[in-house]
Chain A
Amino acid sequence: DTGVSQDPRHKITKRGQNVTFRCDPISEHNRLYWYRQTLGQGPEFLTYFQNEAQLEKSRLLSDRFSAERPKGSFSTLEIQRTEQGDSAMYLCASSLNSGGALYTQYFGPGTRLTVL
């Protein structure tokens, strides 16, 4: 099953350190999304790519956060100078760019970040 994969699955870091997460979407999907989920809440949208272009960014994505998708395949999400409030599950999703499948997002297992 070649679903959405994310790496690492867990990351523990100290406050002030930088962290980077990777997402590999389903191979034929050209849309890629990042969400953040905190305990007891549903996922919240962070940003979205179509191919390599970053087309939408949430106001939740402060200037310490940056996301890239350089070749339109995998994506990275970097958090600089991490804060304890960044502790959350970071989810990646992907979707096709055609027909009804355009609106159906498939999620990866997430990266759980703990900032000490």
Chain B
Amino acid sequence: AQSVSQHNHHVILSEAASLELGCNYSYGGTVNLFWYVQYPGQHLQLLLKYFSGDPLVKGIKGFEAEFIKSKFSFNLRKPSVQWSDTAEYFCAALKGGSARQLTFGSGTQLTVLP
């Protein structure tokens, strides 16, 4: 069965630090990949997505992610975090073809200290 792993459960950074959150998926075929963010008290919002083409994708609020097929990874990065980036971040995968269900990782709670 397809699975998505996020190895960092809680990350604490100071403002202006660089961020990298790990995400690995298990499915070997065509896959669409997503990062969602959930700010405190708010619903899940799409941060960025990868379907095909350039493996480096840019999302909102200065976030980017790199798809590395050989490593089955889709890590999220931001060069300089802000206090307002404090949130829970979820990586998700959608198997290509007819499958429609998103498979989510368990999430990474990011706390940015002012």
Contacts and interface: CB of A to CB of B under 8 A. Distances in A.
Given A42-B90, A43-B44, A103 B107 contact: no
Interface residues of B, number: 22
A87 to B, nearest CB: 18
Contact of B49 (A31, A43, A55, A104): A104
A48 B106 contact: no
Nearest to B91: A42
B100 to A, nearest CB: 5
Contacts of A45: 101-103
B67 interface: no
B56 interface: no
Interface residues of A, number: 25
A103 B51 contact: yes
Contacts of A109: 42-43
A33 B51 contact: no
A58 B101 contact: yes
B32 A107 contact: no
Interface in A43-102: 43-45, 48, 55-56, 58, 91, 93, 100
A49 B1 CA distance: 22
Interface string A32-46: 010100001111110
Interface string B26-70: 000000101010000011111001010000000000000000000
A108 interface: yes
Nearest to A50: B100
Nearest to A99: B51
Interface in B70-107: 90, 92, 94, 100-107
Contact of B101 (A42, A48, A91, A110): A48
A-B complex: 4 closest residue pairs judged by Cβ atoms: A42-B104, A45-B101, A107-B44, A109-B43
